[in-house]
Every structure is written in structure tokens, then in C-alpha cells.
């Protein structure tokens, strides 16, 4: 029987073609000869009392179609490679342990896209064919993928390029349309608050004009008089603020991915520096839709406070003039 790809139950290492393997005569469990001698007995001695026999595990694992061009592990039903598009209709399924094979010179060759411990092939969706232990900046692909959570298919390639090329623009539509919602959803609270403040200030002139137009009957007469007297300046200010707002959104559109990359790298590094469990990388990252709802409430609350502050200031000025006859 071929035991390549199986694990020795004593040292937990993978059997290779060069290993000296002995098999328990009672349950059939394979061991390295040295491991069996060091242990002094079968590692699965409990099998002997219940009549259980050792079963080959690798045969139960699903097969994959290994792309002959890029060596990407595709699904058994894939007609073309998910990574490079090569036609796979003539490629047979390979069991998981076959990511290690002998080349023409007889030397053992290892698939560079396979896991180092041979327990599993790379998840085609999660790692996109990258080696999970490959580095993106100062973290591994696995750590970056765990932190990103949803949309790794979008972020991993961008993180790779940003780690290699440094600061560079890349398109992010959500960063243009809803920058504060995007940052809050990705737990980037500092940038979420910054974009809220900028957005409220730059949208205030146009919001004020709209509010005056729609609700002029509900506003104090003094405020209506003040705004009417400065309507031309307010319209010009609104146009300038609109141009600045579009420019700020454009910056978010082209640099949101870089900001998120820097945020992910710092967060993961902080977790590793404090020697926290690796599971905290997932809990620290990912998305939080409730954060987007919260930042919307903060934004509209800030806008209302700004309008109220303007009303109070105008009313104070008119009251001051009436009292002191200025």
C-alpha cells in the first residue's frame, strides 16, 4: 500500500517515498521505523481493543484539477483554470497528496502553490492561488485574508501591488460615493470621522439653500432676511464647496484602498506584537454594516447641529442689534 501523503501518528510528519515505514500488524497503522521504536508500541493501541483498523485519510479528500500552466488547484468541475483561464477539460482529477511528485530527474518536486504541511490545498477563492505563507508587507497572505474577510478576491491583489509599489492610486467606487460609510464599515473610525466632518462642512451651503427653499415658512423672519441679503454669496459658496467636495471624494476614490491597506498592516502587526491569538485577526477586521448606520446618524446629527448653530448665531446678532441699537 502507498502511504505517501499520510501522517505518522507519532511525529505527525508526512510520509515520503524515502521514508522507512513499518505497519502495525494488528490495526495496520503506518509509522516511521524510528518513531515506532521510540514509542515502543503502536500509536493507535486503542484500536486493538475495539477491533478498529487504520483507514487511509487522503483517499477520502476531494480531488482537484491542477492547472498544467500555473499549477492553480481548481475545482473538480471547473472547465477552465480560475487563475489563468487554461482549458482543463482534458485534465484529470488529482488527489490532494499529488501536489508532490517526482520530476524527470527523479527528484521530488513540490507545487509552490500547495500548503507546506500537505494538509490542504490552497482555497482557490480565499487565497487566489497565492501561497498563504507568502508575505504582503510584514504580514502573510493568510493573515491579510483573515483580516479582510469579505471581498478578498478584490483586496488581496491590490494589497500585493501596494506592498510592492508603495503609495499608488487605485479605483474604489464606494470610496467616492459613500466615503464615510466605507471607512466605518471597514472599522477605520478615524478616517470615517474625518470624511464626515469634511462632508458636513462642504455640503452645508447647498443643504442650507435647499432647506431655505423647502421650509422658508418655518424659519425665523430674521434668518430669511439675512439669507436673502446674502443669497448670491451663498450660491457662490455652495458652488465652491461642491467642487471641493467632489475633489475630496475623488481623493477617497483613488486612495481608499491604500488607506485600508495601511490600516490592515498596522492592525495585524499590533496584534502580533502583543502576542495575541491569531483568531483576533479575524475579529479585528472584516466588515461591520452597523458601523455604517452609526456613522450616518453621526453625520446627520452633525449637520443638524451646524444648522441649529447658524440659527442661534443669526438670532443672537439680530437680538444684539435690537438691544444696543447697533
The cell for 36 is 515506532
| pLDDT at residue number 94 | 54
Q: Based on C-alpha coordinates, what's the Rg of the chain?
A: 32
| CA nearest neighbour of 68 among 111, 121, 115, 108 | 111
The cell for 135 is 508575505
Q: Mean pLDDT, 10 residues at a time, over the chain (326 residues)? A: 81 86 90 90 84 70 68 76 77 51 43 42 60 84 88 88 86 92 94 94 84 65 69 86 94 94 93 85 90 92 84 76 68
| pLDDT at residue number 102 | 43
Helix, strand, coil percentages (3-state) for the chain, rounded to 5, are 55, 10, 35
| pLDDT at residue number 125 | 55
Extended strands (E) in 24-154:
30-32, 65-66, 73-74, 100-102, 108-110, 135-136, 139-140
Q: For residue 22, give the H/E element and its range.
A: strand 21-23
Distance between CA atoms of 6 and 90, rounded to whole angstroms? 28
Going by their DSSP bridges, the two strands 108-110 and 100-102 should be labelled as antiparallel
Distance between CA atoms of 96 and 303, rounded to whole angstroms? 58
Distance between CA atoms of 301 and 306, rounded to whole angstroms? 9
| pLDDT at residue number 254 | 94
- The answer to whether 148 and 156 have CB atoms below 8 angstroms apart is yes
Whole-model pTM: value is 0.57
Mind listing the domains of the chain with CATH numbers?
1-60 (3.30.40), 61-124 (no CATH), 165-324 (no CATH)
Amino acid at each position: 500500500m502507498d502511504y505517501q501523503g499520510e501522517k505518522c501518528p507519532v511525529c505527525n510528519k508526512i510520509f515520503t517515498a524515502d521514508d522507512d515505514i513499518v505497519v502495525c500488524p494488528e490495526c495496520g497503522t503506518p509509522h516511521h521505523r524510528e518513531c515506532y521504536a521510540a514509542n515502543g508500541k503502536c500509536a493507535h493501541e486503542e484500536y486493538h481493543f475495539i477491533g478498529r483498523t487504520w483507514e487511509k485519510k487522503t483517499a477520502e479528500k476531494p480531488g482537484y484539477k491542477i492547472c498544467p500552466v500555473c499549477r492553480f488547484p481548481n475545482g473538480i468541475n471547473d472547465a477552465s483554470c480560475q487563475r489563468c483561464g487554461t482549458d482543463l477539460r482534458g485534465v484529470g482529477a488529482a488527489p490532494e497528496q499529488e501536489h508532490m511528485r517526482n520530476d524527470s530527474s527523479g527528484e521530488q518536486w513540490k507545487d509552490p502553490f500547495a500548503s507546506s504541511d500537505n494538509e490542504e490545498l490552497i482555497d482557490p477563492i480565499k487565497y487566489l492561488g497565492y501561497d498563504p505563507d507568502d508575505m504582503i508587507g510584514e504580514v502573510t497572505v493568510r493573515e491579510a485574508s483573515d483580516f479582510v474577510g469579505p471581498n478578498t478576491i478584490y483586496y488581496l491583489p491590490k494589497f500585493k501591488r501596494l506592498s510592492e509599489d508603495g503609495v499608488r492610486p487605485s479605483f474604489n467606487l464606494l470610496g467616492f460615493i459613500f466615503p464615510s460609510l466605507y471607512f466605518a464599515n471597514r472599522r477605520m473610525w478615524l478616517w470615517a470621522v474625518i470624511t464626515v466632518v469634511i462632508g458636513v462642512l462642504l455640503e452645508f451651503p447647498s443643504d442650507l439653500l435647499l432647506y431655505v427653499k423647502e421650509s422658508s415658512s418655518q424659519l425665523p423672519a430674521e434668518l430669511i432676511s439675512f439669507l436673502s441679503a446674502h443669497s448670491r454669496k451663498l450660491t457662490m459658496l455652495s458652488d465652491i464647496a461642491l467642487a471641493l467636495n467632489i475633489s475630496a471624494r475623488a481623493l477617497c476614490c483613488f486612495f481608499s484602498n491604500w488607506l485600508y491597506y495601511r490600516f490592515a498592516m498596522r492592525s495585524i502587526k499590533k496584534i502580533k506584537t502583543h502576542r495575541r491569538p491569531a483568531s483576533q485577526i479575524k475579529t479585528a477586521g472584516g466588515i461591520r454594516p452597523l458601523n455604517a448606520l452609526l456613522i450616518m446618524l453621526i453625520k446627520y446629527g452633525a449637520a443638524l447641529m451646524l444648522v441649529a448653530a447658524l440659527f442661534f448665531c443669526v438670532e443672537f446678532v439680530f437680538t444684539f442689534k435690537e438691544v444696543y441699537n447697533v
